[in-house]
């Protein structure tokens, strides 16, 4: 299964033909959100799923794993349910969060643009996820968070774009505080996953050529719902 494209995602939101054969509705996509503690993963998820910014008084670090859910429209009339797993960034919770990698099809790798160390740890998170994700290859999006704090930036856009290109990911900068690119980041990732999983596989089953979407929807519905 091919990896994600290594091109940069746009900084903002982005012909007709004869109708093809009917397809079943997409199954839920299980996404994990990874990154160091305090990079703002939970704030991103609250903004995306609830339309609000929790603020510093309601932003205690995640303990273990937290769960969110939302529908995303990937094209007119076609929506995908996202199951979003917010993982703790602290080392003492790693053994817990690793168990939630299984059956994930997408992931946001989040770092804080005002915290260089969180950027330097991105490759560690990426390698750990690749070791524990199964049975699918995961599609990642690199997210530089807190882009509203321009004067405190410690990681340049050019550095982040190079890392994303080297690792075969797209890159986008977000702010949960002012909602910059929050919606776009999840939509971009969901569309990339859908496009990848819709590709036919060199796998014949009962005389049919299957796609990962069909396999996910028919073989493992209970584990993904």
Condensed to tens digits (0 to 9), the pLDDT of residues 52-76 reads: 998 664 455 554 467 889 999 988 9
Convert the pLDDT of each residue in 25-58 to its tens digit.
678 999 999 999 899 999 999 999 999 998 664 4
Domains and CATH numbers, the chain: 29-224 (3.40.50.300)
Distances (CA, A) of 152 to 8, 115, 116, 146, 147: 23, 9, 11, 10, 9
Beta bridge partners of 108: 33, 141
CA 31 from centroid of its chain's CA atoms: 5
What is the Cα Rg of the chain in Å?
17
Closest listed residue to residue 16, CA positions, set 80, 64, 104, 75: 75
Give the DSSP H or E segment for 173.
strand 170-174
Residue 130 reports pLDDT greater than 80:
yes
Query: In sequence order, what are the residues at sequence separation of 6 or more whose Cβ sits closer than 8 angstroms to the Cβ of residue 108?
Result: 31, 32, 33, 34, 35, 41, 44, 140, 141, 143, 185, 186, 189
d(CA 191, CA 194): 5
Give the model's pLDDT for residue 93: 47
Convert the pLDDT of each residue in 167-194 to its tens digit.
999 999 999 999 999 999 999 999 999 9
Give the model's pLDDT for residue 209: 53
Mean of pLDDT over the chain: 78
Which one-letter DSSP state was computed for residue 27? P
Q: What is the mean pLDDT of residues 89-103?
A: 60
């Amino acid at each position: 299964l091919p990896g994600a494209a290594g091109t940069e995602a746009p900084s903002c939101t982005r012909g007709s033909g004869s109708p093809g054969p009917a397809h079943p509705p997409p199954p839920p996509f299980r996404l994990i959100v990874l990154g160091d503690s305090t990079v703002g993963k939970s704030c991103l998820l609250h903004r995306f799923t609830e339309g609000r910014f929790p603020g510093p008084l309601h932003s205690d670090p995640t303990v273990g794993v937290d769960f969110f859910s939302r529908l995303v429209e990937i094209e007119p009339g076609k929506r995908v349910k996202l199951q979003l797993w917010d993982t703790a960034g602290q080392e003492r919770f790693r053994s817990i969060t690793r168990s939630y990698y299984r059956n994930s099809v997408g992931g946001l790798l989040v770092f804080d643009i005002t915290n260089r160390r969180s950027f330097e740890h991105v490759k560690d998170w990426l390698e750990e996820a690749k070791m524990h994700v199964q049975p699918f290859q995961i599609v990642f999006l690199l997210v530089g968070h807190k882009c509203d704090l321009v004067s405190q930036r410690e990681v340049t856009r050019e550095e982040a774009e190079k890392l994303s290109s080297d690792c075969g990911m797209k890159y986008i900068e977000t702010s949960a505080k002012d909602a910059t690119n929050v919606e776009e980041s999840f939509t971009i990732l969901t569309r990339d996953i859908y496009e990848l999983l819709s590709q036919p596989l060199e796998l014949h089953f009962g005389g049919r050529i299957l796609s990962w979407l069909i396999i996910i929807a028919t073989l493992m519905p209970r584990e993904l719902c």
